[in-house]
Amino acid sequence: MTFWQTWQLRAAFAHRMASCYGREVPAYNTLVDVAAEINREVLERDGAAAQRLGRIDRVTAERHGAIRIGTPAELRAVSVIFQALGMHPVGFYDLREGRDSAVPVISTAFRPVDAAELSRNPFRMFTSLLVTDDRRFFDGDLQHRLDTFLDRRSLFAPELLSLADRAISGAGLSDPDAHRFLDLATASFELSSEPVDRAWYTELERISAVAADIGGLGSTHINHLTPRVLDIDELYLRMSARGITMIDTIQGPPRWAGPDLLLRQTSFRALAEDRRFRLADGTIQPGSVRVRFGEVEARGIAATPAGRDLYDAMLVEVDRRRLDDPQADWNELAAQVWAEKLPDTELGLAKADLAWFTYEVADHRGCSAPTADPDATVAQLTDAGVLTVTPIVYEDFLPRSAAGIFKSNLTADGAVELDRPGVARDAGWLSDILGRAVAEPADLYAAQQAASIAAARTRLGLPDRSGAVTPASRSQM
């Protein structure tokens, strides 16, 4: 290759992260093997239905990673590297809020945003930033020492950042530059063998293992890399059967009879990894930490804001029923709630405006459909067989699941003073730090759905009404 386009850099980066992480955490390779084995079986069993939410080659290659960063300046730098890979900040997640799972970070996900880029390679990175000035976690003295420590470290070489700038302005890199860029980018996320300051790490760990993982080290590293699987319940059983300890649950929606919605995730428990520690007297001692785990996910259809509200309300309802019946199986209760409240077909979800879809003119109608009534709604045209629906895959994350994933891998709860005032952070703050807008997931899905409706109307010779469709509005045609 003489010139590497943005998506080729992204695919190569994802690939390199996988080799690096598989070397560092070999159980990850087992997870990938089992996921691939299950995907092959589901494809054989379900045929086309297995590819309803993405072609099998996309699903098999699909990964998300997670990294944790210490300062706004570090976050800005990492954002430039991801921009060079065609990955843009989407969504704002505040993980400090959970009453029993508070973690001192806020997060966003860097990912491709348009459909063509997603189908070339959907690699995304869940990126968390430590909030050192949040008094619920860090007092003034500790914040000061933490900030000083973090300001002294340098995670990304200037050469890497200038190659990233070049990749952004040129929409890719020449062959030698691409290799250098990928080498430097990958190395930035490799686990360092530098000894860890024992006293400092332990002090932070008492507050939060996540704080220690970020602020206790002189460098950053990939925390986990997550393959996508088509049957996560089966994966959970098969990993357990191989003697790998999984966390207690699958996070997110339950297994149920209707279409997959949003995102289901689970992980194996963080493994003890060898680290060298430097003691106060300067001696180096072997030890271990448990912060990295292996996660796997099953992706479903993207929910509209109304669908998200319903999702949140259903989770609350499951919690409520569980209080009444603590022995009940969570999945069973949840599947009941889902069956009561959620339409169990794609079309039902589309008509209730609970999930996002793209619409296309059905093949047999050819280029023009003279009977299409200009006033017909999307639902009417779909019922009449003029339009077909295709679900839009959920490309983002879920705050409650993310908090659960963080939490289920911590060995201790840490110390948080929830009654102290926190420090306000939101998507606007994050956009200012990054110097580019953090996209709202719903806007991206709404635009994709609206564009498909506009294209279908054009094909049917109907007047353009795309101006009438605003983000997250009902899907009237």
Return the residue nearest ligand OOG (CB atom). Answer: 402
Nearer Cβ to Ni ion (96/457): 96
401 binds ligand OOG (CB under 6 A): yes
Restricted to residues 188-217, the positions that interact with ligand OOG (CB under 6 A) are: none
Please state the closest distance from residue 11 (CB atom) to Ni ion, in A: 19
How many residues of this chain bind Ni ion (CB under 5 A)?
Answer: 3
Q: Are 268 and 238 in contact (CB under 8 A)?
A: no
Residue 230 CA to its chain's centroid (Å):
17
- Per CB under 6 A, the segment of 2-10, 80-88, 138-146, 400-408 that binds ligand OOG is 400-408
Restricted to residues 154-183, the positions that interact with ligand OOG (CB under 6 A) are: none
Strands 63-69 and 124-130, by their bridges, are parallel
**In sequence order, which residues have a C-beta less than 8 Å from that of residue 428 and are 6 or more positions away?**
none
Cα–Cα–Cα angle for 269, 275, 276, nearest 5°?
A: 160
395 binds Ni ion (CB under 5 A): no
Task: Return the C-alpha torsion angle 242, 245, 249, 253, nearest 10.
Answer: -50
Please state the closest distance from residue 401 (CB atom) to Ni ion, in A: 9
How many residues of this chain bind ligand OOG (CB under 6 A)?
Answer: 12
Please state the closest distance from residue 464 (CB atom) to ligand OOG, in A: 39
Please state the closest distance from residue 190 (CB atom) to ligand OOG, in A: 16
Residue 417 CB coordination number (10 Å):
9
**Which residue carries 């290759």 as its tokens?**
1
Among 406, 439, 448, 462, binds ligand OOG (CB under 6 A): 406
Restricted to residues 188-217, the positions that interact with Ni ion (CB under 5 A) are: none
Residue 391 CB coordination number (10 Å):
21
Question: Whole-angstrom Cα distance, residue 114 to residue 210?
Answer: 32
295 binds Ni ion (CB under 5 A): yes
Nearer Cβ to Ni ion (105/389): 105
- Per CB under 6 A, the segment of 145-153, 166-174, 371-379, 395-403 that binds ligand OOG is 395-403
34 binds ligand OOG (CB under 6 A): no
Question: Whole-angstrom Cα distance, residue 114 to residue 444?
Answer: 8
Binding mask 219-258 for ligand OOG (x = CB under 6 A): ----x-----------------------------------
475 binds ligand OOG (CB under 6 A): no
Q: Are 214 and 69 in contact (CB under 8 A)?
A: yes
17 contact, one of Ni ion, ligand OOG, none, CB 5-8 Å limit per kind: none
Q: Are 330 and 254 in contact (CB under 8 A)?
A: yes
Nearer Cβ to ligand OOG (92/126): 126
- Per CB under 6 A, the segment of 81-89, 192-200, 272-280, 401-409 that binds ligand OOG is 401-409
- Per CB under 6 A, the segment of 173-181, 190-198, 402-410, 437-445 that binds ligand OOG is 402-410
Among 68, 96, 198, 407, binds ligand OOG (CB under 6 A): 68
Nearer Cβ to ligand OOG (210/301): 210
Nearer Cβ to ligand OOG (197/396): 396
Q: Are 265 and 300 in contact (CB under 8 A)?
A: no
Nearer Cβ to ligand OOG (98/172): 98
4 contact, one of ligand OOG, Ni ion, none, CB 5-8 Å limit per kind: none
Residue 344 CA to its chain's centroid (Å):
25
Among 82, 126, 311, 359, binds ligand OOG (CB under 6 A): 126
Restricted to residues 47-66, the positions that interact with Ni ion (CB under 5 A) are: 66
Please name every residue paired with 63 in a beta bridge, in sequence order, or none if there are none. Answer: 227
Binding mask 225-244 for Ni ion (x = CB under 5 A): -x------------------
Restricted to residues 320-379, the positions that interact with Ni ion (CB under 5 A) are: none
Binding mask 137-176 for Ni ion (x = CB under 5 A): ----------------------------------------
**In sequence order, which residues have a C-beta less than 8 Å from that of residue 338 and are 6 or more positions away?**
253, 254, 256, 258, 314
198 contact, one of Ni ion, ligand OOG, none, CB 5-8 Å limit per kind: none
Q: How far is CA 447 from CA 171, 380, 442, 468, in A?
A: 24, 21, 8, 12
- Per CB under 6 A, the segment of 335-343, 345-353, 394-402, 436-444 that binds ligand OOG is 394-402
For binding to ligand OOG (CB under 6 A), which residues are involved? 66, 68, 126, 128, 223, 265, 295, 397, 401-402, 405-406
For binding to Ni ion (CB under 5 A), which residues are involved? 66, 226, 295
